[in-house]
Amino acid sequence: MQDIAAKILEGDRRALARAITLVEDEDPARYDILKKIYRHTNHSHIIGFTGSPGSGKSTLVDSLITLARNEGLSVGVLAVDPSSPFSGGALLGDRIRMQEHTLDDKVFIRSMGTRGTLGGLSKATREAAKIMEGFKKDIIILETVGVGQSEVDIAKYADTTLLVLTPASGDSVQTIKAGVMEIADVFVVNKADLPGTEKTCLELESMLELGEEGPWRPPVVKTMGDRGEGIDLLQQAIYSHKKHLYETGRIREIRRERIQRELEEQLEYLIYLRSWEAINNNTDLDKEIKSIEKEECDPYTTAQKLVEKYVF
């Protein structure tokens, strides 16, 4: 495993791909890699793209990659597929859309499922992104479909979060889930060729007017992703936000919060694993279940007894 970590740091794409597979498989060996590369991470600008299924995230990401490459920047993309019925064929779609970049060795694109139990989406995604950071990409883009908690999770991890909306009826600003508006550093109204674009933009602007005034006012950027229109403005908005993060020192806070979460998450994970291990090695759970079944005991008392006896 030492080999894989060293190879990732040298920029070996196959090693990177292999390491992300280990993360997806929840292989314990991934921790050797993560430990070795950690000190080389925390230098990429992490951009999170979220929004409803089919809003045009991958199309926009694809165009942004082209702009970033023209500036000589390297890019890593992690497209997270929620494996939900909402985004049928997302993996194939992303692959086709971003195909031209796959021949470029300064671009690394990977789609990832969200299978995995404990921690689910966020833990595996974070670990995979961390590994990409070790690959020393200037920019890392995380694309997640805005389903469930995923957009809030992604905002916690990204330096700059983009919320992609469309003028289509279902995406009216009022219907956006509570807590989601707050996570956006940049609002993107994509599919600006469709009717209702101005209305969506106005709704967003007036909502921003009403909101609390913070140190950063999220801009609203109109794009037509499939024609590449507005992408330059989108890129400028991302750069302005990045500049703001560095000028105000906010970036240090974000990084510190990230370290805190990484540590807490890892502690939770290890405590969970070790506790189960201790209990499994010392008890016959079937016997305990039978005893509860026979009404000799109850799950609450049994759980407490086992934890007190074997864990703490």
Ligand X SMILES: Nc1nc2c(ncn2[C@@H]2O[C@H](COP(=O)(O)OP(=O)(O)OP(=O)(O)O)[C@@H](O)[C@H]2O)c(=O)[nH]1
Size of the site for Mg ion (CB under 5 A): 3
Among residues 90 and 238, whose Cβ is nearest to ligand X? Answer: 90
Strand partners, 76: 108, 140
How far, in Å, CA of 52 to CA of 176, rounded? Answer: 10
Q: Which is nearer to Mg ion, 94 or 159 (CB)?
A: 94
Helices (H), the chain: 2-10, 13-24, 30-37, 57-70, 90-97, 120-134, 150-157, 197-210, 231-248, 250-282, 285-293, 299-310
Least Å from the CB of residue 169 to ligand X: 14
Pairing mode, if any, of strands 160-165 and 186-189?
Answer: parallel
Q: Residues interacting with ligand X, by CB under 6 A? A: 53-59, 87, 90, 93, 145, 190-191, 193-194, 224-226
Q: Which does 193 bind (CB under 5 to 8 A by kind): ligand X, Mg ion, none?
A: ligand X
Q: Name the minimum Å distance from CB 150 to ligand X.
A: 11
- Write the DSSP assignment of 214-248 as a string of letters: -S-PPPEEE-BGGGTBTHHHHHHHHHHHHHHHHHH
Neighbours of 304 (CB within 10 A): 11
Q: What tokens were used for 279?
A: 């209990």
**Tokens 């016959």 appear where?**
284
Shortest Å, Cβ 57 to ligand X: 3
Q: How far is the CB of 190 from Mg ion (least distance, A)?
A: 12
- Considering beta carbons, is residue 84 or 283 the nearer one to ligand X? 84
Distance CA 148, CA 181 (A): 14
Partner interacting with residue 50 (select from Mg ion, ligand X, none; CB below 5-8 Å by kind)? none
Smallest gap from Cβ 55 to ligand X, in A, equals: 4
φ and ψ at residue 164, rounded to 5 degrees: -95, 120
Site for Mg ion in 98-127 (CB under 5 A): none
Shortest distance in whole angstroms from residue 310 CB to ligand X: 44
* Of residues 143 and 288, the one with the C-beta less far from ligand X: 143
Residue closer to Mg ion (CB basis): 8 or 161: 161
Q: 44 or 55, CB closer to ligand X?
A: 55
Binding partner at 59 among ligand X, Mg ion, none, C-beta below 5 to 8 Å by kind: ligand X
Decide which of Mg ion, ligand X, none touches 191; Cβ closer than 5 to 8 Å per partner kind: ligand X
Separation CA 302–CA 286 (nearest Å) = 12
Q: Which does 55 bind (CB under 5 to 8 A by kind): Mg ion, ligand X, none?
A: ligand X
Site for Mg ion in 41-70 (CB under 5 A): 57-58
**Are residues 2 and 36 in contact, defined by beta-carbon separation less than 8 angstroms?**
yes
- Smallest gap from Cβ 191 to ligand X, in A, equals 4
Q: Which residue has the tokens 């470029």?
A: 104
List of residues contacting Mg ion (CB under 5 A): 57-58, 94
